Chain A
Amino acid sequence: MTTFAFYFFATLITLLFLVTVLSRNVLYAMTALAAGMVLISGLFFMLDAAFLGAVQLVVYVGAVMALYSFAMMFFDANKDIKERNGSAVTVFLLGGAIAVMLVVIFTAPLIGQGVASLYPPAEGATNPQAVGLVLFTKYLVPFEVAAVMLLVAMISGIILAGKKMDFSLSVVEATKSIDSKTIDNMDNTEKKGDK
């Protein structure tokens, strides 16, 4: 039964990701990608990795794909994409060679010897509990650094999208100090000009 389920999921995932790569329509590609992500979570559930399966659903399908689709809605999503490929033979050879190489590299450890995990999960812990045990003891520091990283990303986003960036002190010679009021005034005059 698990073997059948594995091949079922694997075939569907491969097909959906092929659609993602080959389709010229952004919406098709994105939908296929989202569906593939959902099916990957099925593989995780099969391996008793319930936590990872849920994370896959919440983060990839829920958050990342939603962001993708929001971003894509800014463009005309129904238009076909014209890809600019150079020589088809070169693309095929280089892409194929890299793909084969990566497959060999990633499967070599499996063919080699059986790899044992150095830190087996605690006795009697279910999968989410085991993840929690490791995450909040040994990996507490990376967890907290990831929090700092998110703070950095948030500050960066607010600054770079902020109004103050519309006006560059590095280029324009500032005769007096620029405060928020002057920038507001400038914005108003621009809006009047638009009308």
Chain B
Amino acid sequence: MLEPISVSLESLNLITLSPMLIAIGGALLILLIDLFKDNLDKTMYVMLTMLILFIDIGATFSLNINERGFFDLMLVDGISVVSQLIILVTSLLFIPLALTASNNRFHEYSYPEYFALFLFMVAGLQFMVSTDNLILIFVGLETASLSLYTLIAMHNTKGSHEAAIKYFTMGAMAAGFFLMGSVVVYATTGSVELYEVAKILQSQGVDGLSSIIAPLGGAVLMLVAIGFKVSLFPFHMWTPDVYEGSSAPMAGYMSIVPKIAMIVVAMRFFGIYINLNIEAVSYLIIIVSVITMTLSNMMALVQKDVKRMLAYSSISHAGFVMAALALGTTKANSSIFLYYGLFMFTNLGAFAMLWISRHKAKRFHGRYDHPYEKFSGMISAHPIAAVIMAIFMLSLSGIPPFSVFWGKLYLISSVVDFSAATGESKYIVLAIIMVLNSAVAAYYYLKLIVYMFLKPPVNELNLVYTNKSLALATVIGFLVMATILSIFYVQPLMEFVTYLVSSSGY
């Protein structure tokens, strides 16, 4: 007979699990309410979900930084807390977008399960960012992805089914590559815990050819998996189609939240290689990111649909951020979180502006919901909406003093600093490529502004904001204020993020 195992409850440090348990408990609560009482109005579920997210934010704030829990499986460090906050705040701004003008306008909101699945997804993403065990990362990733595929398909249009299937297929590929990468790492080091992996790689050294092939192979397989989820070249092909098919706020949400979770995983995983000075890996990431931002900018120039244009623009922003990830300095890592924290307001706002103008019938174009012509002459019909859209576009193109400008500023300055610190001039070239790409990107953002302000409206068809309601106007108003007033809070935000990131040694 085996000895029974006794584990003291204190050693488990169960508080590290509390944010995820709140989200899962909330989701189960929503399912139970639906079980006992049918046909409740969706407003109730929206408010309940927001309440749960608020409690979740509180639980995340109350965590002690740099603690491990549950047999060292859970890891609460600075980047885990800051990414959880970004995920939760974006979710909190995303959920009220369900409160459109009249009920029963959209299929997904007629299901209480929509909100339950949403909370399950948030819990999965939180698990993913607050562990460095590859098994838990994978299980959390798959929980979040499965929920996300369903959330997309529940919009229930032809396009959204296509989007869900495409995303599902690509997600399955990504899962396969993630597992193969993990297997190689496990075969090389005998561990799936990244802190142990780092220790072992450090001690056994990575000089000889035979000892470098396997870690490099693992990194390449992992980069493929991360590339699928963060939509890096050449694994970005699904992104425009999926964003086009899913509902506009969901597309905006997808361009921020799953990406920031995967970027945290990339930071933990590639951080090992960058700390070991394996230059091949950082060059690989930089090459991929440069191609990503350049190519997607070129593709965005020729798009006829605003939503597809924003999809390509979000790919290019992801490429931008990945370039900083390859440096591995504290400033570069914290500028990634600052960038996404600021990009979140603007991008969600731009997609929300598309959302309130969605019509059930495609009145302007045979295929697209939001062609550029739809917005032509908007300044005369809806002056305030046109100005708000213009602010979001200017912010996305990185024009001061709007929010994304500060993100770009810190990101590029971290690249320049790195070049000065290492004395290598090739990182200056990287910074110049990033600036040039921002300049190219300005063209397609300004194209929309030209349509809105300078072109005459399409006469017989008027743009009507059918979905507009007080709740949506409030959310958009908040996003606009966050975009315009970023100059006032960017400094404390930067200090907060840098404190969290540096406190856990990234």
Contact = CB atoms under 8 A, between A and B. Distances in A.
Contacts of B108: 170
A174 B191 contact: no
Interface stretch (A6-14, A72-80, A147-155): A147-155
Interface in B24-64: 24, 31, 39
B156 A155 contact: no
Interface string A143-172: 001101101110110011000110011111
B117 A152 contact: yes
Nearest to A129: B2
Contacts of A142: 73, 133, 135-136, 139
A133 B5 CA distance: 9
- Interface size class on chain B is 35 or more
B150 A160 contact: yes
A172 B247 CA distance: 15
B188 interface: yes
Given A148-B24, A149-B139, A109 B188 contact: yes
B157 A171 contact: yes
Contacts of A172: 360
Interface string A76-111: 000000000000000000000000011011101111
A153 B121 CA distance: 12
Contacts of B123: 148
A111 B210 CA distance: 7
Given A170-B360, A174-B104, A149 B142 contact: yes
A108 B113 contact: no
A67 interface: no
Interface string B165-187: 00000000000000010011001
B71 interface: yes
A145 B143 CA distance: 8
A58 interface: no
Nearest to A172: B360
Interface string B104-126: 11111011010011001001100
Contact of B157 (A106, A137, A170, A173): A170
A152 B184 contact: no
A183 to B, nearest CB: 12
B106 A170 contact: yes
Nearest to B200: A118
A105 B213 contact: yes
A174 B107 CA distance: 11
A122 interface: yes
A173 B2 CA distance: 66
Q: Which of B24, B31, B156 has the most CB of A within 10 A?
A: B156
Contact of B155 (A104, A149, A170): A170
Contacts of B210: 108, 111-112
A169 B71 contact: no
A116 interface: yes
A50 to B, nearest CB: 16
A80 B140 CA distance: 40
A49 B143 CA distance: 28
20 contacts: A102-B180, A104-B217, A109-B188, A113-B211, A115-B187, A115-B188, A124-B2, A133-B2, A137-B5, A138-B73, A148-B123, A149-B142, A152-B120, A156-B146, A160-B153, A168-B107, A169-B105, A170-B106, A171-B360, A179-B39
Given A106-B217, A160-B150, 14 more contacts: A101-B217, A105-B217, A109-B187, A115-B187, A124-B2, A133-B2, A138-B73, A141-B73, A152-B120, A152-B147, A164-B110, A170-B155, A173-B360, A174-B105
Interface of A: 101-102, 104-106, 108-113, 115-118, 122, 124-125, 129, 133, 137-142, 145-146, 148-149, 151-153, 155-156, 159-160, 164-165, 168-174, 177-179
